[in-house]
A and B are shown apart, each in its own frame.
Chain A
Amino acid sequence: MATATEVLRPVTTREDKWRPSTKGWVARRAVLLLILGGIVFLTASVEGFWADRIARAAIFAVIGLSLNMVLGYIGQVSLGHQAFVGIAAFIAAYYATEKAGCEFEGCSMSTFITSTVFAALSGAIAAGVLGLVALRIRGLYLALITLAYGLVSQNSIFEISFLTRGGAGMPAVRPDGWVGDHAFAFLTLIFLAGVIFVDWSMMRSKVGRAILSVKHSEPVAASYGINVTGYKIIAFVLSGLFAGVAGSLLAFRNQNVVANDFSFVETLTWVLMVVVGGLGNRVGVIIGSAFFAMFGFILEPVLHWLGGLWGPLHFLEEAGAQAYVVIIVGAALAIFTIIEYPGGIGQQVSPITRWLGGQRFSMHPDGHGKHQTQASEASKTGVMGRLGLQRSGSTDEVTEASDETAPTSVMERATVMEQATASPPPPPAPAVHPDDEPVAHASGSADDPPGKPDPVPEVGGTDEGPASRKRGFLGKLGLQKNGAAQQEEKTR
């Protein structure tokens, strides 16, 4: 019997929606199980310090998902995530050590759970406050203020010695039964699975679709009756919740929380790992985060090998070299990703994730050969397109063309422009993705192929769509003031 929802559900315009056969499903489930089983087996079989590193990777993945919520889903840059993670870590350690007396007596599982709940709540509250601020301050300015907030946390809040015990750090004793590195690694993996589940189920629910629509265009979302403010706050709070869980896990993993753990470089590295992972792409972010967490350890033997090859490279064998090389390679990787592969790791592994999700195995985003050109175009355009912007239609094509041919005279330029305006500009979103659903129905977009340009430029608050460009065109040629627009941009 068809209910109302069932009538509304098939929003896809594709008639030939392909479904794998039973055999196909079995194969997919088997591979998925094999991957999960591989992780579990790996964690169980490695030495203790490697299990400890796996725990770190899992915690980084939680942090990555938390940042992805803000950065990838609602398209705002938070450079102060170390504050949320750090505050939560200190609160968890403070509760366990000062209130529950874990330092000398050992810790019960219930104490651990309580600490984690407190940590998650504190992270949610702190991020909720940031969300309120983010309603007024956006884009570049939000990035700036979050960075300042992170620095204040690091230099002020985390140094309040009666709360954090200063440079010596606050101990956080692992709960009984989970003291060993293997056991604790499994505990973090369980938490990671929980966070992934929450993230996944939220993003495929009404809330998730609403959040994505807010990212794409606030006015459009509002016109569909979506409570823009409310959903933005929800995304921030959820991000803080994840950060809080990560903070608590990090505290118990390190068994000692110090301000140094939440440094400036750390938080920037977190942002870069999400970018490299692929904004808005869950699988990519997890892989990217785990990669950044593990990278230094993997690099160590490589550097040793390199250092042994040739005399002048000998310094690579020094114990300190690893720290520098990690920063250099991480940052270079991020720049490379931003410029060349805006979809990040998520885009590279998308054939596999799509296959596992029940589609055909193919190397291009939506499983249909005819979109291949558009997909590659998308990857070129959507430099961090996941952040929410695409280049606006025709004008940019002109700019790109003139980059190559470089018309020399004003006349030539004018001709180019004329041609550009003469040819009808493709309608923004539908033209690029004819198959795409209307914005409000952007179901399951969290797992959408990355690199797809988002339909409406909004996020940075500074880019102007084609329309506004045209509007201000003549005025700006005369360098007329457009103060109102700028002011608006800052306050929005």
Chain B
Amino acid sequence: MDRKRLIGIVVVGCMLLITAACGQKPGVIKEATPAGAAGGLGGGEIPPGAEIDPETGELLDAEGNPVATSTGSGTSTGSGSGTSTGSGTSTGSGTGTSQAAPGEPSGGNSTGVGDDVIKIGIHAPLTGAAPVPSDSVEKGKDLYFRWLQSKGIKINGREVKVVLKNDNYNPSQAVSVCKEMVEKDKVFLLSGAAGTDQIQACARYAASVGVPYVSAGVTERGVTGLPNYFTTSATYADQGPLLADYMASRLGAKGEKNGLVFFDTPNFQDAAAAFKSGLRKQGVKLHYEKYVSKAADDDEAKNVIGELKAKGIKNVYVLTSPFWFIDLNKECTLQSYCPQWVGVGISMTFDSVASASCPGIDGAAFFSPFPAWSESKRYDADFDAAVRRFHPEEGGGDDFMWLSWIGTKVIGEALKYPGRNLTRERFVYFLERKRGLNVGVGPRLSYSPDNHFGARTVYVNDARCRGGKQPADNRWHTLVSPPTADF
């Protein structure tokens, strides 16, 4: 009797191991980028930061307007957001860049900084409602720094070590892992990979303990004015008017019915308000507005698609969890009514979302701080080389590694400014006086003491599903990249 049970337990143990092993290779389905994918948009030499319209061959800036001169035409159209302070700063002003500015802090807290190492902490949702694959993030978290190390490059004589923790897509847990990284791992700064509520919660915690926090831009609510918080991409509110502009000029939204579908969280309210005011400026009407709860499931997706279909909505700004967006896409495919999706954010433009959402997501245009991974070679050849060197089993890597690469690259750059004497105070002081932080990929960043939302530009990525526009690989591709000048 007992032996039989023991055998049973052993059997289940083996089953677990086998199933676990089965799932260990998600990379199996990944394919190498088809040769020539980079040239898919028309080939030829493209000026840095500008883009050629695949249909017309015109040179475009971020808003999709034809670029008249080579650079610098896109001045300050984004000022309509009204929610951000100090928007419209130009690159030309050279104030504050001098190294010996008065009031420069000379000392301060140098936790996490050793003689030859700097420790930084990143939190990401590895489980929960919008999870990112932990093995990719784990491999990508310090890829850039390992690359630097292999080249013998140090940041003021130090290497960077990265600690990664899982925030479970839950703000409470985000705060708790951030606390752990600050107190136990003694990190110098914190960074959030994705997830608005988690980034906001952890940023506020970081502010309360004086730890610098660097993340992609999400909401402005509750983080505006935090002394240690820096965004490395445009916030949702800043992107709202851009998106309205894009819809009007590129998607012909003026003559069509438009809608927005948002998760009902206060952290998206600034995004909705900025988008709506942007639409008004463009003279575009909004015909459908829906706020669904974070707990929405596929029943609600069916309901929303039914309503969109009944009302004939053509363009929809969607800001929800990627998970529910997949539900929407499955449903709209079955109903043969997939509107032109537009949106902002980071996790929506993951390739896993595209491949799970195809064909419904085909042609969706999403603003992203980064160019699509499928075109990484065009923007940063080092990434591909680094992946092949350190993780040959991964092929060309994936979008999470790409995202981590760019994010850590910006942090690495920012860590250089204070010089050898690196303290949290000096890090903040120098970063907030930095104009034109540029790592060659991602938005160009300019901060000021009043404005820590340093980016105004975005990339436009679109999803290409099989059977749609070429190259049809169920992935995101970059349609428009930002001009070199801020606007």
Contacts and interface: CB of A to CB of B under 8 A. Distances in A.
Q: Touch between A and B in complex, CB under 8 Å?
A: yes
Interface of A: 47-49, 52, 154-156, 159, 161, 165-169, 254-261, 312, 315, 317-324, 328, 403-404
Contacts of A319: 124, 126, 134, 137-138, 164-166
Interface stretch (B80-88, B172-180, B401-409): B172-180
Contacts of A168: 171, 197, 200-201, 221-222, 265-267
Contacts of A323: 126-127, 166, 168
Given A166-B294, A256-B175, A260-B171, A322 B166 contact: yes
A48 B179 contact: yes
Nearest to B139: A318
B24 interface: yes
A321 to B, nearest CB: 7
B126 A320 contact: yes
B170 A261 contact: yes
Given A169-B197, A256-B175, A320 B127 contact: yes
A315 B137 CA distance: 12
Nearest to A161: B264
Contact of B170 (A52, A258, A324): A258
B325 interface: no
B427 interface: no
B267 A254 contact: no
A52 B222 CA distance: 24
Interface string B150-171: 0000000000000011101111
Given A49-B183, A315-B135, 5 more contacts: A161-B266, A167-B264, A169-B171, A255-B175, A324-B127
Contacts of B169: 260
In this complex, the member of B1, B138, B176, B295 whose beta carbon has the largest number of chain A beta carbons within 10 angstroms is B295
B134 A318 contact: yes
B184 interface: yes
12 contacts: A167-B171, A167-B196, A168-B201, A168-B267, A260-B171, A319-B126, A319-B137, A320-B127, A320-B166, A323-B126, A324-B127, A404-B1
Contacts of A259: 294-295
Interface string B122-148: 001011110100110110000000000
Contact of A159 (B135, B175, B295): B295
Contacts of B200: 168
Contact of A52 (B134, B135, B179): B179
B100 interface: no
Contacts of B221: 168
B266 A166 contact: yes
Interface residues of B, number: 42
Contacts of B295: 154-156, 159, 259
Contacts of A324: 127
A324 B134 CA distance: 12
A254 B166 contact: no
Contacts of A254: 172, 175-176
Interface string B273-304: 00000000000000000000111000000000
Contact of B172 (A49, A169, A312, A321): A169
A166, A255, A403 pick with most chain B CB within 10 angstroms: A166
A159 B292 CA distance: 10
B135 A318 contact: yes
Contacts of B222: 168
A312 B18 CA distance: 12
A169 B168 contact: no
A167 B172 contact: no
A155 B294 CA distance: 8
A28 B16 CA distance: 45
B49 to A, nearest CB: 35
B164 A52 contact: no
B453 interface: no
A256 B265 contact: no
Contacts of B183: 47-49
B263 interface: yes
A302 to B, nearest CB: 16
Contacts of B138: 317-319
Nearest to B170: A260
A47 B186 CA distance: 12
A312 B126 contact: no
B28 interface: no
Interface string B296-337: 000000000000000000000000000000000000000000
Contacts of A167: 171, 196-197, 263-265, 267, 294
Contacts of A169: 171-172, 197, 201
B172 A256 contact: yes
Nearest to B185: A49
A49 B126 contact: no
A156 B296 CA distance: 10
A317 B126 CA distance: 13
Contacts of A315: 24, 135
A404 B1 CA distance: 8
A166 B135 CA distance: 31
Given A48-B179, A168-B200, A261 B172 contact: yes
A6 to B, nearest CB: 50
Contacts of B35: none
A185 to B, nearest CB: 13
A481 B445 CA distance: 78
Contacts of B264: 159, 161, 166-167
B21 interface: yes
Nearest to A324: B127
Most B-side CB within 10 Å, residue of A168, A255, A259, A323: A168
Nearest to A340: B5
A178 B341 CA distance: 48
